[in-house]
């Protein structure tokens, strides 16, 4: 039998979805599963987007331009201006989700064997895209005890060598909810400038910042304008995960030229998705305010509830809608699987993402899980109660 490729063998399974078969089996047994494992918002998509889809008046659903529709890119310029990000339509390339933007950035900027420095824990698919591009992820570790703040600059410089080509950050962060400070962003800027690196900055959660500290975009950093590649998506800010519309934004014309070759090879980003995303930019500010206020309440509900469970600890996330929590167990993956396979309380259980899958360093995150507060508060409250019962019943509980 022919062998699969090394790339296919090394591609990591998603820590977010790998337990899905156990969740499906639990549902088949009539158990209600509270999904805290995946960042799929349950809040409504903007009415303007849904109306735009319903009112499509076309005789042909044609290819769109490989770079995306100009009308959408032009409207995005005004959107980014609200965040003091000054770009032109030509700086923006529309992609099939933020995932494609990351992949095309890697393929365009990195050669096989090139290294990217990434703070861990990190969004697991970054590793998958790096493998796809033949690149190597090198990680600087952040810890739950220090609230996932960046380590000192020396920790970065220890990893930099002749193969280092880029630093990748997610701000606000998935999976931790951490928001980088101005000092930390300046630290990254100085490293990028000193070693002439690319800075890939995934900023898809900019709407969800819960602190008085300002949002510092990579595009705000002076002196590295040609080094920055911004990654964006409408999936989370508009509850539009399924339309697969993202964006890659850079002032670097050579990078855009290279990215466009990959865009042309995949032909075009989704037509209907762009129609919905463009219409979403016309949604009222009231929509954004209501969504934001709801996440503020959910964050308080989840974090307060987690920290009231004996042996559980979660720092307070300052952005996005995730947190990483430490549990009183030896192996969080075993515990998460056990919750789905062997446990229920009054016909209910919880599904979480084992945090080890968000680390590259072996052994890290073994007693941690990532949780997404994308359920309504009543469901979060019940899920926390069921989690407490699961920890009380789990045979592998670790007593503090």
CATH number at residue 96: 3.40.640.10
Q: Are 21 and 165 part of one and the same domain? A: no
Q: What torsion, rounded to 10 degrees, do the Cα atoms 237, 108, 120, 136 define?
A: 150
* 101-142 residue pLDDT tens: 999 999 999 999 999 999 999 999 999 999 999 999 999 999
Instruction: Identify the domain boundary among 280, 301, 326.
Output: 280
Residue 106 belongs to a domain: yes
CATH number at residue 290: 3.90.1150.10
Distances (CA, A) of 348 to 64, 307, 351, 394: 45, 21, 10, 15
Q: 240: pLDDT confidence band, cut at 50, 70 and 90?
A: very high
Q: What is the mean pLDDT of residues 7-36?
A: 89
Higher pLDDT, residue 225 or 14 = 225
How far apart, in whole angstroms, are the C-alpha atoms of residue 133 and residue 112? Answer: 7
- Total-model pTM: 0.95
Residue 266 belongs to a domain: yes
Query: Using the 8-state DSSP alphabet, how is residue 313 labeled?
Result: B
What proportion of the chain, given as a percentage, has pLDDT over 70?
99
What is residue 68's predicted lDDT score, i.e. its pLDDT? Answer: 98
* 356-385 residue pLDDT tens: 999 999 999 999 999 999 999 999 999 999
Q: Are 200 and 327 part of one and the same domain? A: no
Closest CA to 96 of 211, 229, 240: 240
The stretches of 55-212 forming alpha helices (DSSP H) are: 70-81, 97-109, 125-133, 153-157, 182-195
Q: Which long-range contacts (CB under 8 A, 24 or more apart) does 56-65 make?
A: 56/272, 56/275, 61/271, 61/272, 62/271, 63/267, 63/268, 63/271, 64/268, 64/269, 64/270, 64/271, 64/274, 65/268
Residue pair 261/104 in contact by the 8 Å Cβ criterion: no
Instruction: Identify the domain boundary among 280, 296, 321.
Output: 280
* 329-342 residue pLDDT tens: 999 999 999 999 99
Q: Degrees (nearest 5) of the Cα angle 190, 194, 197?
A: 90
How far apart, in whole angstroms, are the C-alpha atoms of residue 176 and residue 257? Answer: 34
Q: Are 248 and 161 part of one and the same domain? A: yes
Range of the domain at 88: 58-280
* 159-216 residue pLDDT tens: 999 999 999 999 999 999 999 999 999 999 999 999 999 999 999 999 999 998 889 9
Give the total number of structural domains in the chain.
2
Secondary structure of residue 198 in the 3-state scheme: strand
Give the range among 15-24, 76-85, 185-194, 346-355 with minimum mean pLDDT: 15-24
Residue 400 in this model has a pLDDT that exceeds 70: no
Q: Are 66 and 159 part of one and the same domain? A: yes
């Amino acid at each position: 039998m022919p062998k699969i490729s090394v790339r296919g063998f090394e591609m990591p399974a998603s820590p977010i979805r790998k337990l899905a078969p156990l969740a499906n089996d639990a549902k088949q047994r009539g158990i209600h599963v509270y999904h805290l494992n995946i960042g799929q918002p349950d809040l409504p998509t903007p009415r303007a987007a849904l109306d735009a889809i319903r009112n499509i008046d076309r005789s042909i659903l044609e290819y769109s331009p490989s770079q995306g529709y100009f009308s959408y890119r032009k409207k995005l310029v005004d959107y980014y201006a609200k965040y003091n990000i000054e770009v032109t339509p030509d700086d923006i390339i529309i992609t099939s989700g933020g995932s494609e933007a990351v992949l095309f950035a890697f393929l365009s900027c990195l050669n096989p064997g090139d290294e990217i420095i990434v703070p861990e824990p990190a969004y697991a698919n970054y590793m998958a895209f790096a493998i796809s591009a033949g690149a190597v992820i090198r990680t600087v570790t952040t810890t739950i005890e220090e609230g996932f703040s960046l380590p000192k600059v020396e920790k970065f410089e220890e990893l930099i060598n002749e193969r280092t080509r880029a630093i990748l950050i997610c701000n606000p962060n998935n999976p931790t909810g951490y928001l980088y400070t101005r000092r930390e962003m300046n630290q990254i800027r100085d490293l990028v400038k000193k070693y002439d690196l690319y800075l890939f900055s995934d900023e898809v959660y900019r709407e969800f910042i819960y602190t008085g500290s300002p949002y510092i975009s990579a595009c705000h950093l002076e002196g590295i304008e040609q080094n920055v590649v911004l990654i964006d998506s409408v999936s989370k800010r508009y509850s539009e995960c399924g339309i697969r519309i993202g964006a890659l934004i850079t002032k670097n014309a050579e990078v855009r030229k290279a990215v466009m070759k990959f865009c042309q090879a995949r032909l075009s980003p989704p037509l209907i998705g762009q129609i919905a995303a463009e219409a979403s930019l016309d949604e009222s500010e009231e929509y954004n305010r209501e969504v934001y206020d709801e996440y503020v309440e959910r964050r308080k509900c989840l974090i307060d509830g987690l920290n009231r469970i004996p042996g559980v600890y979660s720092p307070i996330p300052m952005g996005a809608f995730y947190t990483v929590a430490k549990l009183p167990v030896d192996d969080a993956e075993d515990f998460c699987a056990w919750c789905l396979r062997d446990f229920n309380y009054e016909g209910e259980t919880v599904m979480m993402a084992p945090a080890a899958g968000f680390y590259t360093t072996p052994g890290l995150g073994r007693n941690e899980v990532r949780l997404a507060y994308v359920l309504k508060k009543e469901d979060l409250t019940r899920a926390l109660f069921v989690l407490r019962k699961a920890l009380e019943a789990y045979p592998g509980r670790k007593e503090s």
